[in-house]
Structure 1
Amino acid sequence: MPLVTLSDVLKPALKRGHAIAGLVTLGWEDMRAYVAAAEAESVPVILQAGPSCREHTPLPVLGKMFRHLAESSSVPVVAHLDHGYTADECREALESGFTSLMFDGSRLPLQQNIDETAAIAEMAHSAGISCEGEIGFVGYAQGETSEGTNPEEAATFARETKVDAMAISVGNVHLQENKEGGLDEPRIRTIEALTDTPLVIHGGSGVPMAQRLHLARSSNICKFNIGTELRMAFGDALREAVNSNPSRFDRVQILKDTHDPMVAATRAVLRGFKGEDQC
């Protein structure tokens, strides 16, 4: 089926009590496995092109890859720009066929973040696609420290930017390799009491599985971004493929061996966001 927008999948998720996985892509092998896993689980999927992906593959190429996968898929697929930092980058993604733009102004002063995000949202909506913004700063494991989202500021941000989804900082951290942390549920409840905008968790790999499922079914969090967890799964599968036959040198044959393990790992992630009516 054709690519769909972020709103197309988040609105039903909010209404029915489940969440959609925003899966961070790095190349053809993982994005193909993500779609295969989504088809096996009969759920929509959001393919995300983040900064490191875009450094490796140009946005126009990524847009064509996402569109090709969507058109041959039996489930809805969203082509999402993750952490776009400039208007020019967001515009290039739009022109490359992306159906969702995430503008990250979380390091900016509040009013500047609102103004710049609102401009991106207007550009996206004028083109018939979706926009995600971020309020509060989500830090990085072994890197920058998070700044938690202020609920009143989040309500103002959602109202003035008119974003379709809002990423928040509530204890989540990018690039976390374990699930020993957890999200600040009281802060989440305060935010969702002040705005009905669908909420997004970046750094979802660090959230315990039980809490993912609980919040997917009981809160306004409709999108969890998963990157590190599946990157680790790919790395494990690639090492196994290489070490199983050290004399092999054909990378196509080696990479084929990562497909089934990646589909299995992704299916486990997707099941963690299903609503009760999807099981």
Structure 2
Amino acid sequence: MTVASLHQLLHAAQAGRYAVAGLVVLGWEDAVAFVEAADDTGLPVILQAGPGCRRHTPVPVLGRMLRHLAEQARVPVACHIDHATTLEECVAGIAHGFTSVMIDGSSLPLDENIALTNRVIDAARAAGVSVEGEVGFVGYAGGRQSRVTSPEEAARFAAETGIDALAVSIGNVHLQQEKTDGIDFDALRAIEAATDVPLVLHGASGIAPATRSILARDHRVRKFNIGTELRQAFGAALRKSLADQPSSFDRIELLRPTIAAVREAARDAITGIGPARVIP
């Protein structure tokens, strides 16, 4: 069995000075592609079920599906609930086999964020499940604007929760389709000086691969959430499949070519932030 907790993956990444890819799952084909990419590279991966995924597919189904894939993998795989905003969402994930949950209290005042996070941690620790939290606010391209993480708030949050991983806002943006150079390294260094917890960057598709590599190997960013660039690979492959097979109406036949395309995109994402030397 290769199912792992987020704590296990990030502890190893901390020791090895690399980061692990949190890959956003929307369905069976991309989940398969992500695990195949992890096996191909010999590197661990985190399968993430975000709010959109959970609206489309029930959590009990997702838990069984992702655990099945993790158990077949040759490398450690964590199964992660992403951007839960309530204790109930996290408890449901824990009950259905997820090894990690993110409780996103970033829209709350700090005291309330800490209190909510601690309630989740109490439930998760009893089940051996890891917890990720967020301080500051990571905004959305074309949507709500970011709020940069305060080092003082990050330090207090980490100290009062004992969180396994901390998502921070330092210029990263969700759903960014184009690569940018918007990372505030001064803000990152201030957070690193104030905390010792593994850091997470959401919206990593908008960060140039070379910058992601620097953040992983020269800083304490241990997890990158990557979704948009993988969905772009999926969409391009699906459009080509539809064009190549205009008379087909079999969804399995039409979707099959997306697996290889997403696998290649995932391989690039995984290796770009992994150890400097990769053993396939």
TM-score, normalising length: structure 2: 0.98
Shift of 1:180: 2.0
| Aligned residue-pair number | 279
User: Does 15-24 or 268-277 show the bigger shift?
Assistant: 268-277
Aligned to 2:46: 46
Whether the aligned pair in 1 keeps the contact of 2:271 and 2:278 (CA below 8 Å) is no
Unaligned runs of 5+ in 1: none
Shift of 1:85: 0.8
Shift of 1:182: 2.6
Aligned to 2:177: 177
Secondary structure at 2:23's aligned position in 1?
strand
- Cα separation, 1, equivalents of 2:213 and 2:13: 13
Following superposition of structure 1 onto structure 2, how do residues 116-135 of structure 1 map, counting pairs within 5 Å? Answer: 116-135=116-135
Q: Encode CA deviations 1:102-160: one digit per residue, 9 max, x unaligned.
A: 00000001100011011111211121110000000000000000000000110000110
- Cα separation, 1, equivalents of 2:277 and 2:267: 17
Secondary structure at 2:101's aligned position in 1?
strand
- Cα separation, 2, equivalents of 1:71 and 1:138: 32
Whether the aligned pair in 2 keeps the contact of 1:241 and 1:255 (CA below 8 Å) is yes
Following superposition of structure 1 onto structure 2, how do residues 27-46 of structure 1 map, counting pairs within 5 Å? Answer: 27-46=27-46
Matched, 1:26 2:63: no
Aligned to 2:208: 208
Shift of 1:97: 0.5
Q: Which amino acid aligns with 2:111?
A: Q
- Cα separation, 2, equivalents of 1:157 and 1:197: 10
- Cα separation, 2, equivalents of 1:121 and 1:207: 30
Q: Encode CA deviations 1:190-238: one digit per residue, 9 max, x unaligned.
A: 1111111000000000011111001110111000000111011100010
Q: Which amino acid aligns with 2:134?
A: E
Aligned to 1:136: 136
Q: Which amino acid aligns with 2:227?
A: G
- Cα separation, 2, equivalents of 1:72 and 1:275: 23
- Cα separation, 1, equivalents of 2:188 and 2:180: 19
Matched, 1:74 2:74: yes
Whether the aligned pair in 2 keeps the contact of 1:182 and 1:208 (CA below 8 Å) is no
Shift of 1:261: 1.1
- Cα separation, 1, equivalents of 2:44 and 2:163: 20
Secondary structure at 2:134's aligned position in 1?
strand
Whether the aligned pair in 2 keeps the contact of 1:179 and 1:207 (CA below 8 Å) is yes
User: Does 180-189 or 244-253 show the bigger shift?
Assistant: 180-189
Unaligned runs of 5+ in 2: none
Secondary structure at 1:257's aligned position in 2?
helix
Aligned to 1:192: 192
Q: Which amino acid aligns with 1:64?
A: R
- Cα separation, 2, equivalents of 1:237 and 1:276: 30
Matched, 1:166 2:144: no
- Cα separation, 1, equivalents of 2:28 and 2:181: 31
- Cα separation, 1, equivalents of 2:60 and 2:2: 17
Aligned to 2:90: 90
Matched, 1:58 2:58: yes
Whether the aligned pair in 2 keeps the contact of 1:198 and 1:221 (CA below 8 Å) is yes
- Cα separation, 1, equivalents of 2:79 and 2:276: 26
- Cα separation, 1, equivalents of 2:80 and 2:90: 10
Aligned to 2:148: 148
- Cα separation, 1, equivalents of 2:89 and 2:276: 38
Q: Encode CA deviations 1:66-102: one digit per residue, 9 max, x unaligned.
A: 1110111101110000000111111000000100010
TM-score, normalising length: structure 1: 0.98
Matched, 1:106 2:112: no
- Cα separation, 1, equivalents of 2:158 and 2:219: 17
Matched, 1:246 2:246: yes
